[in-house]
Amino acid sequence: MIVDQKNKDRIFSIKQNSMKQFCFDDNVVQVFPDMIARSVPGYEVIISMIEDITSQYVQSGSNCYDLGCSLGAATISIMHGINKKNCHIYAIDNSIPMIKKCQSYVDLYHSPAKVNLICSDINNIEIKNASVIVLNFTLQFIKPDNRKKIINKIYNGMNKGGILILSEKVIFKDEKQQKLNENLHYSFKSHQGYSNLEISQKRSALENVLISDSIETHEDRILTAGFRTFEMWFKCYNFVSMLAIK
Ligand code: GEK
């Protein structure tokens, strides 16, 4: 992913009197690569491993989906990981400015697979003949009541042996563990150059927008849908990436 160093995230650096809910608008899109890299510990590792995991599970003649693709970092990893013939990638996001800019990034790379960028709500899309599906920090923005339906839809549209890579910010049932991981994440953001004001204003803007589940809730939802394997393959503080195999 190409990051324009001039586009540093300073969105929450000035004191705001009334806090608007966070949304993926033009301002966020302009600084998004810097924002996500400095907010999500381990993001780059997860993005690079998506290529590796894709290469192990992609099936010939199948579809790969990047749901909530933003600027296409995971899409580009999927493109690089595809080592089978006649594959098709669908990268989907419901933010118009994200999809527009995503197209310009994806166009920089060559892929034997056909890539289609679609501006749509992932609640409304159809999934079929899938071997690799990525939800990289997207499910947490979906209304909690709709999450089970999306995981079931993913399972039903997936071929046997196909995989879901699900990365999320999570909460812990144990209060001490929750506090510890929250504090570690706070220090990470502070070391990344975010001020206390930026951290607290972003937290307020994300309230009721980013709603985290526990690892147990994700595992239960995935196994109840029918997936035969659930593995938490990556964890850094309160950010995890899980692998489900059909
Ligand atoms: C990455 N995966 O760089 N339908 C479609 N898209 C949605 C929906 C929805 N209902 N809700 C939110 N989004 C990316 C990072 S960011 C994570 C994903 C973050 C989209 C939203 O527009 C945004 O682009 C993305 O999900 C979440 O690997 O910013 O923490």
Question: Domain-by-domain residue ranges, the chain?
Answer: 43-171+209-245
Task: Note the pLDDT of residue 19.
Answer: 85
Task: Specify the CATH architecture of the domain 43-171+209-245.
Answer: 3-Layer(aba) Sandwich (3.40)
Q: Is 165 helix (H, G, I), strand (E, B) or coil?
A: strand
Sign of CA dihedral 80, 45, 43, 196: negative
CA angle 39, 45, 49 (to 5 degrees): 135
d(CA 72, CA 106): 7
Q: What is the mean pLDDT of residues 135-158?
A: 98
| Distance from C-alpha of 18 to C-alpha of 130, rounded to nearest angstrom | 44
* pLDDT band at residue 2 using 50, 70 and 90 as cut-offs: very low
Measured distance CA(37)–CA(53) in Å, rounded:
21
The pLDDT tens digits of the residues spanning 99-134 come to 999 999 999 999 899 999 999 999 999 999 999 999
Task: Determine the distance separating the centroid of ligand 1 and the alpha carbon of 166, expressed in angstroms.
Answer: 12
Q: What is the pLDDT of residue 6?
A: 65
How far apart, in whole angstroms, are the C-alpha atoms of residue 107 and residue 105?
Answer: 5
- Can you list the alpha helix ranges (DSSP code H) found in 40-112? 43-57, 73-81, 96-106
Can you tell me the mean pLDDT for 225-234?
Answer: 98
Reported confidence tier of residue 18, pLDDT bands at 50, 70, 90: confident
If one residue of 35, 46, 93 were mutated to test the ligand 1 pocket, choosing by the most ligand atoms within 8 A of its CB, it would be 93
C-alpha atoms less than 13 angstroms from C-alpha of 77 in its C-beta half-sphere: 25
The partner residues of 168 in beta bridges, in order of sequence, read 240
Mean pLDDT of 132-140: 98
Mean pLDDT along residues 156-176: 98
Q: What is the per-residue pLDDT across 70-97, written as a single tens digit (0 to 9) for each?
A: 999 999 999 999 999 999 999 999 999 9
Ligand 1-lining residues (CB < 6 angstroms): 24, 36, 68-70, 73-74, 92-95, 98, 121-123, 136-138, 141-142
CA–centroid distance, residue 109 to ligand 1 (Å): 21
Tell me the average pLDDT of the chain. Answer: 95
Rounded (5°) CA angle 53-56-58: 95
Enter the tokens of residue 218: 């994700």
pLDDT for 58 equals: 98
5-15 pLDDT tens trace = 569 999 988 89
The DSSP code for 122 is: T
Q: What is the pLDDT of residues 178-215, one digit of tens each?
A: 999 999 999 999 999 999 999 999 999 999 999 999 99
* Cβ contacts of 73 within 8 Å, gap of 6 or more: 1, 33, 36, 47, 136
- pLDDT tens for each residue of 51-63: 999 999 999 999 9
- H/E stretch holding 196 reads helix 196-206
